[in-house]
Amino acid sequence: MTAHTPETTGKTYDVTKTDEQWRAQLDPQEYHVLRQAGTERPFTGEYEDTTTEGVYACRGCGAELFTSAEKFASHCGWPSFFDPKDSDAVELLEDTSLGMRRVEVRCATCGSHLGHVFEGEGYATPTDQRYCINSISLTLRPTRA
């Protein structure tokens, strides 16, 4: 079984584009992650170690998803957040694509794949959750001083 993609679930999002439009907007690696539920290699993403203050938005549609206030150093190879900016900003779906149960995280505005959320790992965060998000699915908007 493969991971759910917006194109296979049939769900309608506020931002919808044809496959051709997505391919024109995104480079091949961005398309693979955001539209085909792929994953970037660990420790290669531009935001894994970033401590810049700001808002992390969906690279597909620009919706605000996470903030630097919820970002923490998990040392897992991808940017980690303990909570989204707004509970309605993301949607969570069961993912059994690797023969195990995981929870996929998607942008609630355009359905782009962001990563997965895990809980109970023992991180000292307020939610005991780790939103493990692909850097390539995000765009950081730094806070202006």
Bridge partners, 104 (sequence order): 93, 116
Distances, alpha carbon 133 to alpha carbons 59, 109, 117, 145, in Å = 12, 16, 8, 26
**Number of C-beta neighbours around residue 79 at 10 A:** 26
Query: What is the DSSP secondary-structure string of 61-88?
Result: T--EEEEGGGEE---SSS-EESS-SSTT
Positions marked catalytic: 132
Q: Is the Cβ–Cβ distance between 93 and 4 less than 8 Å?
A: yes
